[in-house]
Amino acid sequence: MTTTAPLRRPRKDAEANRAGILRAAAITLAVDPSASIDQIARAAGLSRRALYGHFDDRHALLAELVAAGAQRFNAIASSLEETHPPLALARLTAALWTEAAHVQVAAALALDEMHLEQTATALAPLRRTLATVVRAGQEDGSLRTDIAAPTLARLIEETARSAVSRIDASSPVATSLAVRAVLSIAGLSWRDVAALLDENPDVLEAS
């Protein structure tokens, strides 16, 4: 007697539909950040009812986009090996910006006012890395010391937030602008920033 293995296609279809919804949401929200659930469903080629079979509401959908983006950002932070604080900050910013260029909608959502509480938890590993770099920079004098480390780390994060929401990710100078903005708020002069990037061209070349 032979038995037939149960078909797994329905589950695979469901996973494919869920992934398609997330892709459609990212594309749709990139054009219109206030896009409705109906618009997202249409972009995914599904009915509103079908979309609700995967996500309870728009908030749940956005929350997953935030979580996915945060996971990728945290992975980048965990791989940072640079020990010189300004250069570490430059490399971290460039790497994160490159990722943000791919998931810019998720990055913007992760930093918007409506998701601050979720972001605080989701991006905790990244924030710990940033805080460590800032403290090391203040201790060796390479970063500004007129602002307490926690506040400076928050200012750097806010600068990155502004870059994500204001700079066109498709611009060939986008990464350079983001890195220069972050290093400037961290206390480096524009000349120091230029010298650092000239001495380490791979920072921007890798983006």
CATH number of the domain bearing residue 46: 1.10.10
Angle of the 85-102 helix axis to the 104-111 helix axis, nearest 10? 110
Q: What is the residue range of 91's domain?
A: 65-205
pLDDT at 101: 63
pLDDT at 145: 98
Residues 109 and 171 in one domain: yes
Does 60 fall in a domain?
no
Of residues 102 and 60, more confidence is placed in 60
Does 187 fall in a domain?
yes
Residues 69 and 51 in one domain: no
Q: In CATH, what number is assigned to the domain containing residue 115?
A: 1.10.357
Angle of the 104-111 helix axis to the 58-78 helix axis, nearest 10? 100
Over residues 139-174, the pLDDT tens digits come to 999 999 999 999 999 999 889 878 777 777 677 788
In single-letter form, the type of residue at position 6 comes to P
Residues 106 and 49 in one domain: no
Over residues 45-92, the pLDDT tens digits come to 999 999 999 999 988 888 888 787 788 889 999 999 999 999 999 999
The sign of the dihedral angle between the CA atoms of 97, 101, 102, 107 is: positive
Domain count along the chain: 2
The Cα 144–Cα 148 span in angstroms is 9
Q: Could you tell me the end-to-end alpha-carbon distance of the chain, in angstroms, rounded to an integer?
A: 59
Residues 166 and 77 in one domain: yes
Does 123 fall in a domain?
yes
Does 5 fall in a domain?
yes
Q: Is the pLDDT of residue 129 over 70?
A: yes
C-beta of residue 177 within 8 angstroms of C-beta of residue 153: no
Residues 194 and 164 in one domain: yes
- Which band of pLDDT confidence, cut at 50, 70 and 90, is reported for residue 102? low
Residues 78 and 30 in one domain: no
Over residues 1-60, the pLDDT tens digits come to 555 555 555 566 778 888 889 888 877 876 777 789 999 999 999 999 999 999 999 888
This prediction has a pTM of 0.76
C-beta of residue 97 within 8 angstroms of C-beta of residue 207: yes
Residues 163 and 195 in one domain: yes
